[in-house]
């Protein structure tokens, strides 16, 4: 199993950042996802070049600005658990995205996607 941790600081209030990342069907800030649907706590993301992957939403706490999810149906990943959180920072807010994944070699494919999403989030936030 491999662990990934990506983070970025944004010059925006945490609530403003959470309004984007906490919207479970909003994917305009995640370049690797073409489409997303949410039904009964299961999010189906259609990934570029990979197709649909289902995630169980484990925690979605707007007050704490934390979302946890785990892949429950994937053609290639056996274990995947992620936490996305927004916390106050001296410069505005910090987004922290941690993931554990198995097979471990998928970390090398997932991490650039997480980093690209944080870069795109900066553009979306303006």
Ranges of beta strands (E only) in 1-126 are 2-10, 33-39, 42-47, 51-61, 66-73, 79-89, 92-102
Other CB atoms within 10 A of residue 36 CB: 18
Dihedral Cα 94, 95, 98, 99, nearest 10 deg? -170
Q: What is the pLDDT of residues 20-76, one digit of tens each?
A: 999 998 999 999 999 999 999 999 999 988 889 999 999 999 999 999 999 999 988
The domain segmentation of the chain, as residue ranges, is 2-125
Q: What is the pLDDT of residues 64-90, one digit of tens each?
A: 999 999 999 998 888 999 999 999 999
Question: What's the rounded Cα separation, in Å, for the pair 102 and 92?
Answer: 34
Q: Is the pTM of this model over 0.85?
A: yes
- pLDDT above 90: residue 9: yes
Q: Does domain 2-125 have CATH number 3.30.530.20?
A: yes
């Amino acid at each position: 199993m491999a662990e990934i941790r990506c983070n970025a600081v944004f010059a925006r209030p945490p609530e403003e950042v959470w309004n984007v990342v906490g919207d479970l069907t909003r994917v305009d800030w995640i370049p690797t996802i073409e489409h997303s649907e949410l039904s009964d706590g299961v999010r189906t993301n259609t990934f570029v070049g990979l197709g649909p992957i289902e995630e169980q939403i484990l925690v979605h706490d707007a007050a704490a600005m934390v979302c946890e999810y785990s892949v429950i149906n994937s053609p290639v990943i056996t274990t995947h658990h992620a936490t996305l959180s927004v916390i106050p920072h001296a410069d505005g807010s910090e987004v922290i995205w941690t993931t554990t994944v198995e097979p471990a070699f998928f970390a090398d494919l997932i991490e650039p996607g997480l980093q690209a999403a944080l870069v795109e989030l900066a553009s979306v936030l303006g």
